[in-house]
Chains A and B, each alone.
Chain A
Amino acid sequence: MKPTLAALALSLALSVSAPAMARSVTLTTTLNAYGGNGAYLAFYVTDAAGAYKGTLWMAGNKTKYYSHLTGWQRASGGRLAEIDGITGASVGAGRTLKVTLDLADTLFDAGYSLRIDAAAEDMRDSPAEVVVPLATAGAGTPVAGRTYIRSFTFDL
């Protein structure tokens, strides 16, 4: 999945106006065979103090289920404008989601974290399923989540 409007991804503080100041990042998320329906995943960025900076991607289309992504809801205030144009389908158990987007250079190695919330129907909500620092050194290193995510990698 490669959103053509990736540059819109971080529509507020994270967006970039000139390609020179951005770098292309690929987020690869592989889920466990957790034996449930497709998972909703929210990818978002917080700063060193834990304050919300913006959403990168929302996997899952039905807004009434977003309240199960509790960390994202707390951080973003649940405003749907935050994810306008950056939503896709939920991700089935055992499947892999690949999203490529352009991120501002300034986000890297500056204390920001990328967080993923996950939830699936009739199963537990998993806020902060994955939390990884946005450090160039961490690129390409797989990280496992608490419940749903077998491995998450971001590649520059």
Chain B
Amino acid sequence: MFRRIHAFLGLLAVALLLLVAASGAVLSVLPAIEHTQVVAAPAAGTSVASVAGRVAAQQPGVETLKRLPSGAVIAYFTGDGAPPTSVIDPATGTPVAAYVPSSVQRALTNLHRSLFLGDAGRLAMGLTALALLVLIVSGLAMTARRMGGWRRMLGRARGSGMQRVHVDLGRLALVGLVPSTLTALYLSLATFGVIPDGSAPLTPLPTMSVSAPALPVGELTALGRVDLEELRELTFPDPAQPDDLFHLSTARGEGFIDPTTGSLLAWHEHGVAARLYDVVYMLHTGQGLWWLGLVLGAAALCLPILGVTGAVIWWRRRRTQVAVAHDATETHADTVILVGSEGGSTWSFARTLHATLTAHGHRVHTAPMNELRAYPAAQRLLVLTATYGDGTAPASGGAFLERIEAMPGAPAYPVAVLGFGDRQFPHFCRFAVDVDAALAQRGWTRLLPLTTIDRQSAPSFARWGATLAAAMGEAFTVTHVPERPRTHRLPLVARIDYGEAIDAPTAVLRFALPPTGLVARLTGRGLPRFAAGDLLAVVPPGNTVPRYYSLASASADGFVEICVRKRPGGLCSGLLHTLAVGDTIDAFVKANPQYRPARGRRPVILIGAGAGIGPLAGFIRANAARRPLHLYFGGRSSASDFLYEREIAGWLDEGRLTTLATSFSRERGGGYVQDRVRRDAERLRSLIASGAHVMVCGGREMANGVMRTLADVLAPIGLTPLALKAQGRYSEDVY
């Protein structure tokens, strides 16, 4: 719901928003520039009378004295001498320069508030502000849902790089966008008279009887009581009109001054509405508060970036939800597949299943979960659903549970629920579990028990397909080939080999980055930005299924580095080990944002064995902030497979790595890395008690061993690796 509003309005208003943002950003700088150019602001406490007296003494024919929001004082003169509109030095009263208002500023202001289209344009801009407000609110609601609640709003953004930029920048820009938008709406409503702007009503002017000669302006008592800081405008009496009065307008109100007595006549104090309007005007324009203008302008500059990243996210999401081929209608389908998907990957599994069943003579209808309805011809319902980050429904499944409730009863056909998720998240397949339970509670029969699939595993999916075929009494196999992104050709530029002597050949392979333009990156065609811990998917020639390797470098390093152990008979690892410098591979990058050191300055304990050191080495290399990092590395022999040995020595010297502990299993007195961990129990307990983040990388067996060991280590302080995991302080990258 929020996503749809957010995307619809965002795309609709994008042109107007860009215009508003660009013109607003330029305008926002002007108050700061004016601030630097204000002529010699006099000491506080200077009265309007004294300044007006000096100006009148210096130059006859003063018509009006005006103080601009920047603090500059200008005067309008009649007759010759000074320029008709002059900047005044308040200290001396002399006109120092002609005042020429910027025509660029005027044009931009008109564009910004009315598109040069008068009231119709003002209305359009008012609606643009309203659209921006709705975008802010719906964007906040989406972010809150994504982060798992309003209280976690400031947490670390997850998702693809583009999504993270959108969320991070959006949260940052709120500081300026919220005041800009609210004040814009206020000003717009005031312009159209919906809320009062507090301007004084037109009233007959007061009159005076010509009884005495006029006093010098510097001696008018009413003017002597007004500080220059408060002045807006002082209009002198027209010499041609003998009964004319001074007109004074200040921050507090406006009224008239009798030039013969100096007394104030018909004073109109600004009401609440007028003062509020002035404050809102200042907050919107930054006029009179130049630094705020810069804040607002910086936030406005974020809008185009938010627009572009938002459009790219929308486009990518759309692309993943292409229609299913050979879709039967809901009234004729014998098999219905309902999909709950957030990023679109579950759809690709649904399409595979749809195609397989169609090929075996079934009439299959596939739809988003939210479109659940009565299926008169159905013999089975298959629900394939992912789970949103915080354990709730994904985008296309939010209304599913309500729809089940609304159905008159359980249908005759059975249902099978298949959940997709990632075991690294605390709420693994929670929504699938909830759906399965809700269906059972409503009396639906199960075709298959609830099954879950970890990290889009194609083999798990094939196994579930086999049980489905068995339950249906048919013989088909479901083979899912993940639709893979465009690959890039990466040439090998360096390799270092370890472990030959001990029969565990492991290579650190470094590839060059392909050149990527901005357009290619924005449209998702280039190699995306990546960090250590993301995955490099290598596609062996003639093979469709990529193999994933954890990246040991970030795009900022300027190269792509992985650490590969040669497996006996391993197709991809074998191929990688044959590469010579200059040879190329086809690969793409897959984001793995959950495997990163937690933000902040807290220590990180890195535990890796063998090739598992790859991403950990990348974290250390990227540790320019010299955050405390403690590395536990396990190998077989320090002479042969101490991966990154030379680099590690350098990182220790530079302070990128704080401490190193190693353990080599084939050496006398050696052991596995978990044995080394156990020996350091005391130190690790205190590090973890002080908030350290544990990151493990390596084989499944090693990871399990480390987890068991840490469970023992942490028991005395009442902590477990699972509890740390739930807090996001225990991360594993296991293969």
Which chain B residues border A70 with CB–CB below 8 Å? Answer: 235, 247
Contact partner of B106 (CB less than 8 A), chosen from A37, A77, A146, A147, is A37
Q: Are B63 and A80 in contact (CB under 8 A)?
A: no
Report B207-251 residues with CB < 8 Å from chain A CB. 235, 238, 240, 244, 247
Which chain A residues border B78 with CB–CB below 8 Å? Answer: 146
Q: Are A67 and B202 in contact (CB under 8 A)?
A: yes
CB-CB under 8 A for A78 and B202, given A37-B106, A127-B238: yes
How far is it, in angstroms, between the C-alpha of A146 and the C-alpha of B200 when the chains are bound?
Answer: 28
Contact partner of B202 (CB less than 8 A), chosen from A36, A63, A123, is A63
Q: Are B76 and A78 in contact (CB under 8 A)?
A: no
Taking CB as reference atom, which chain A residue is nearest B103? Answer: A35
Taking CB as reference atom, which chain B residue is nearest A65? Answer: B199
Q: Are A124 and B202 in contact (CB under 8 A)?
A: no
Residues of B near any A CB (own CB < 8 A) = 63-64, 76, 78, 84-85, 101, 103, 106, 110, 118, 197, 199-200, 202-205, 235, 238, 240, 244, 247
Secondary structure call for the A interface: loop
Taking CB as reference atom, which chain A residue is nearest B197? Answer: A64
How far is it, in angstroms, between the C-alpha of A78 and the C-alpha of B76 when the chains are bound?
Answer: 24
A92: min CB distance to chain B, Å? 10
Which chain B residues border A73 with CB–CB below 8 Å? Answer: 202, 205
Residues of A near any B CB (own CB < 8 A) = 35-37, 63-64, 66-67, 70, 73-74, 77-80, 89, 122-125, 127-128, 146-147
Which chain B residues border A77 with CB–CB below 8 Å? Answer: 203-205
* Pairs A–B under 8 Å by Cβ, sample size 27: A35-B101, A35-B103, A35-B106, A36-B101, A36-B106, A37-B106, A63-B202, A64-B197, A64-B199, A67-B200, A67-B202, A73-B202, A77-B203, A77-B204, A77-B205, A78-B203, A78-B205, A79-B204, A80-B202, A123-B101, A124-B85, A125-B64, A125-B235, A127-B238, A128-B238, A146-B78, A147-B84
How far is it, in angstroms, between the C-alpha of A63 and the C-alpha of B238 when the chains are bound?
Answer: 23
How far is it, in angstroms, between the C-alpha of A146 and the C-alpha of B79 when the chains are bound?
Answer: 10
CB-CB under 8 A for A122 and B235, given A73-B205, A74-B205, A78-B203: no
Taking CB as reference atom, which chain B residue is nearest A75? Answer: B205
Contact partner of B63 (CB less than 8 A), chosen from A64, A89, A124, is A124
Taking CB as reference atom, which chain B residue is nearest A72? Answer: B202
Q: 3 smallest A-B Cβ distances: which pairs?
A: A78-B202, A77-B204, A64-B199
A69: min CB distance to chain B, Å? 10
B195: min CB distance to chain A, Å? 13
B250: min CB distance to chain A, Å? 15
How far is it, in angstroms, between the C-alpha of A66 and the C-alpha of B199 when the chains are bound?
Answer: 11
How far is it, in angstroms, between the C-alpha of A94 and the C-alpha of B409 when the chains are bound?
Answer: 76
A70: min CB distance to chain B, Å? 7
How far is it, in angstroms, between the C-alpha of A124 and the C-alpha of B236 when the chains are bound?
Answer: 12
Which chain A residues border B85 with CB–CB below 8 Å? Answer: 124
Q: Are A124 and B76 in contact (CB under 8 A)?
A: yes
Secondary structure call for the B interface: loop
How far is it, in angstroms, between the C-alpha of A67 and the C-alpha of B255 when the chains are bound?
Answer: 12
How far is it, in angstroms, between the C-alpha of A124 and the C-alpha of B118 when the chains are bound?
Answer: 22
How far is it, in angstroms, between the C-alpha of A80 and the C-alpha of B204 when the chains are bound?
Answer: 11
Taking CB as reference atom, which chain B residue is nearest A35? Answer: B103
How far is it, in angstroms, between the C-alpha of A63 and the C-alpha of B247 when the chains are bound?
Answer: 19
Which chain A residues border B106 with CB–CB below 8 Å? Answer: 35-37
Which chain B residues border A124 with CB–CB below 8 Å? Answer: 63-64, 76, 84-85
B83: min CB distance to chain A, Å? 12
How far is it, in angstroms, between the C-alpha of A35 and the C-alpha of B85 when the chains are bound?
Answer: 13
Which chain A residues border B202 with CB–CB below 8 Å? Answer: 63, 66-67, 73, 78-80
Taking CB as reference atom, which chain A residue is nearest B85? Answer: A124
How far is it, in angstroms, between the C-alpha of A78 and the C-alpha of B205 when the chains are bound?
Answer: 8
Q: Are B110 and A37 in contact (CB under 8 A)?
A: yes
Taking CB as reference atom, which chain A residue is nearest B254? Answer: A67
B74: min CB distance to chain A, Å? 10
Best-surrounded residue of B85, B118, B202, B238 (most CB of chain A within 10 A): B202
A145: min CB distance to chain B, Å? 13
Which chain B residues border A64 with CB–CB below 8 Å? Answer: 197, 199
Which chain B residues border A128 with CB–CB below 8 Å? Answer: 238, 240
Which chain B residues border A122 with CB–CB below 8 Å? Answer: 101
Taking CB as reference atom, which chain A residue is nearest B240? Answer: A128
Which chain A residues border B235 with CB–CB below 8 Å? Answer: 70, 125
Beyond contacts A35-B101, A36-B101, A64-B197: 16 other A-B pairs, Cβ-Cβ < 8 A, are: A35-B103, A35-B106, A37-B110, A70-B247, A73-B202, A73-B205, A74-B205, A77-B203, A78-B202, A78-B204, A79-B202, A79-B204, A124-B84, A125-B64, A127-B238, A128-B238
